[in-house]
């Protein structure tokens, strides 16, 4: 039987053209206690339609681990501080994850609350 978790972990994903932009966003998310941990993955090849044109670019993805109750706050922060006009912004809640890790995430994003 799975353990009941006291919080729901949320993984927020967005992408950037420049590694430096992703690094700045990652630092801000952790400093602002919007995410406990952020991972940046380089070398993503993206293909999409924008303004009627097919675009093919190399991007980096950022995945931020937070408490699901932070969705409104973290998504608003990313939209406000992202260099894209319409950033990718996806929140996923994993069905299974280690309870101790989830508690650590919750503690990190709720410091001082």
pLDDT(87) > 80:
yes
Domains parsed from the chain with CATH numbers: 9-109 (3.30.70.120)
Q: How far apart are CA 29 and CA 57, in angstroms?
A: 25
3-class DSSP string for the chain: CCCCCCCCEEEEEEEECCHHHHHHHHHHHHHCCCCCEEEEEEEEEEEEEECCEEEEEEEEEEEEEEEHHHHHHHHHHHHHHCCCCCCCCEEECCCCCCHHHHHHHHHHHCCCC
pLDDT in tens, 6-30: 569 999 999 999 999 999 999 999 9
Cβ(7)–Cβ(94) below 8 Å:
no
pLDDT in tens, 25-50: 999 999 999 999 999 999 899 999 99
Give pTM, 2 decimals. Answer: 0.90
pLDDT in tens, 41-85: 998 999 999 999 999 999 999 999 999 999 999 999 999 999 999
């Amino acid at each position: 039987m799975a353990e009941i978790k006291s919080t729901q972990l949320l993984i927020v994903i967005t992408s950037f053209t420049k590694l430096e932009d992703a690094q700045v966003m990652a630092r801000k998310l952790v400093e602002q206690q919007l995410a406990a941990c952020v991972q940046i993955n380089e070398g993503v090849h993206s293909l999409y339609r924008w303004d009627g044109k097919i675009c093919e670019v190399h991007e980096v993805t950022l995945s931020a681990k937070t408490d699901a109750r932070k969705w409104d706050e973290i998504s608003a922060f990313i939209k406000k501080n992202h260099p894209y006009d319409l950033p990718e912004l996806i929140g996923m809640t994993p069905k299974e994850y280690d309870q101790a890790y989830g508690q650590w995430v919750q503690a990190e994003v709720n410091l001082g609350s």
